Amino acid sequence: MIFLCGCGKSNPKDVVKDFQDNIKNAKSYKATGNMEISNDEETFTYSLESYYLKDNYYKVILVNQTNNHEQIILKNGEDIYVITPALNKSFKFQSDWPGSSSQAYLLGNLLQDIENDSKYEVVDNEDGYIIKTKVNYPNNNELSYQKIYLNSKKIPEKVEVYNNNDIVKIKVDFDKIDLKAGLKENDFKLEDYIKEEEPKEDCEEGASCKNENESKETATIEDIIYPLYIPSNTYLTSSEKVDTENGNRVILTFSGDKNFVLIEEKSLASSAMEIVPVYGEPLLLSESIGALSANSLSWDANNMSYYLASTELTPSEMQLIANSLGNETLVSNTK
Segments of the chain scoring below 50 in pLDDT? 1-7, 203, 205-217, 328-335
State the Cα–Cα distance between residues 70 and 143, nearest whole angstrom. 25
Per-residue model confidence (pLDDT) at position 141: 87
Ranges in the chain annotated CATH 2.50.20.10: 12-192
Q: Residue 100 is which amino acid?
A: S
pTM of this structure: 0.86
Per-residue model confidence (pLDDT) at position 217: 43
| The listed CATH number (3.40.220.10, 3.30.200.100, 3.30.470.20, 3.40.190.10) that belongs to domain 219-333 | 3.30.200.100
The pLDDT tens digits for 78-87 are 889 999 999 9
State the Cα–Cα distance between residues 255 and 31, nearest whole angstrom. 45
Per-residue model confidence (pLDDT) at position 230: 95
- The CATH superfamily assigned to 12-192 is Lipoprotein localisation LolA/LolB/LppX (2.50.20.10)
What letter would DSSP give residue 70? E
Per-residue model confidence (pLDDT) at position 4: 44
State the Cα–Cα distance between residues 194 and 299, nearest whole angstrom. 19
Per-residue model confidence (pLDDT) at position 335: 33
Per-residue model confidence (pLDDT) at position 198: 56
Using DSSP, state whether 108 is helix, strand or coil.
helix
225, β-bridge pairs: 331
User: What are the φ/ψ torsions at residue 135 (nearest 5 degrees)?
Assistant: -125, 160
Residue 272: CB atoms within 10 Å: 10
